[in-house]
Every structure is written in structure tokens, then in C-alpha cells.
Amino acid sequence: MSPFRLAALVLLLASSAAAADSPACRAACGAMAQSRAANPVPVQACLIRCEASARYQAGLRGGQAAALGRVAVAVTGPVRGMPVSFAQPHWGAIYAAAPPAPQIGIAFGEGDRLLAHSGAAQRCSSGRESSCRMLLEFTERCGAVAQARRKRGILLTDHPSTYEVAALATGTGSSRAAAEEDALAQCRGRDGQSACRIAASACTAGT
């Protein structure tokens, strides 16, 4: 690296050392420290690129809200059922709040891995839930997440006031149905006493 480029990189890192990085970017870049400046220089550079890409993408388009039952699950990507053609690998990611919170964020059809993660994390956190974490990353496949729901009263419905989330499970497959079946099987294996329901699913390609 030339002295000029090295100096420019150092200046950029110094100017953004105090920036707050999203959980998705920290996970994607392998940042071990909460403070950007406390991480190695290559990790800091990765964080800068990740956050810049997320801001740029957010300015280009917004997410689409899909209601699954009466739980609002934020999603971004091609509309379900529409034919999609991809000339390069596309990524998907699913983030969810820690049980018993029901929030889920899913991103799919992204050409950039970091954008898939940042998009899913941001959409999960949009419901004022700060404990969202990555559950699944998938590419050129379908992904799904199932919730093990325990009823709070007499009836269990799709409204979150009637249940609490006891556990989460993910699944993948070559089709949406296969991914959902895998997620439900994993869910039942983790919690046989609760009712397992698909909370969100998507495909990164036209499968």
C-alpha cells in the first residue's frame, strides 16, 4: 500500500473511531470489541465499509412489511410469489429477539452479504427490541424460522398477546416448503410441549 493510501486510511479510521456499529456489522466483520477503535485496523476498515453500505442501501430503498398472522415481521427483498432471476449469488439472513420476545427480521435476495445481515438486524430491531441476534444465513436456498409458542391463556392464536416464545429454530431447503418443514422439525425437537409455528420464510432465488 502506498504511503498516501495508508495515510488516507489512517485518517478515515481516526475520524470514525467513535462511530457506533450495528450488531450485524460487528458480527459480519468479526469485531470482538464494542468500540471500533479497539479492534484491529482491518476489522475497523471492514466496519466502515459495512456501515457505509448499509446507509447507502437504506437510502435507495425501504423494507416491505409482511404480516404473518398478526405478528409484524419486517422483511426486505423480492415479493413472495414473484419470479426472480439471479446472475450472481444472493444472500439472506434471519435475525430474532431472544425469547420470549416475538420480533423477527428477515432480509433476502441481497447481492451483498453484509447488507443482508444489516438489513435483517435493523428490521428486527425496528420494533424497539435491542436483543436481536443472527439465527440463520443462507444463499441460493430458502430459509425459515419457527417459534415454539406457549399459550398464556385459554386460547392460542396468532396474536402475540395469547402466547410467549419459548424457543426458536431455523431450517433451510431447496424450496420454501422444505425450509419450513425443516424449521418445524427442529422446533419440535427442541420443545415438544409448545406449539411450533412458522414465523417467517424466504428464498434468495426463484425457488
**What does the pLDDT look like over 184-206, one tens digit per residue?**
999 999 988 899 999 999 998 65
Of 40-54, 78-92, 117-131, 148-162, the range with the lowest mean pLDDT is 78-92
Q: Taking all residues of the chain, what is their mean pLDDT, rounded to a whole number?
A: 75
Position 32 scores a pLDDT of: 78
Q: Is the pTM of this model over 0.85?
A: no
Above 50 in pLDDT, residue 71? no
Question: In 12-103, which ranges are E strands?
Answer: 64-68, 71-76, 91-96
Q: What are the CA-CA distances from residue 40 to residues 5, 12, 31, 90 (Å)?
A: 18, 14, 8, 28
pLDDT of residue 92: 94
pLDDT at site 171: 95
Q: CB count, 10 Å around CB of 151?
A: 13
pLDDT at 128: 62
> Does residue 64 surpass a pLDDT of 80?
no
H/E run at residue 144: strand 142-151
Q: Is the pLDDT of residue 99 over 70?
A: yes
Q: Is the dihedral of CA 110, 116, 118, 120 positive or negative?
A: positive
For residue 54, what pLDDT band results from cuts at 50, 70 and 90?
low
Predicted pLDDT of residue 120:
92
Distance CA 105, CA 96 (A): 6
Name the residue with higher pLDDT: 185 or 45.
185
Q: Give the per-residue pLDDT at 107.
A: 93
Query: What's the rounded Cα separation, in Å, for the pair 162 and 159?
Result: 6
Q: Is the pLDDT of residue 31 over 60?
A: yes
Per-residue pLDDT, averaged over 161-169, amounts to 89
CB atoms within 10 A of CB 17: 13
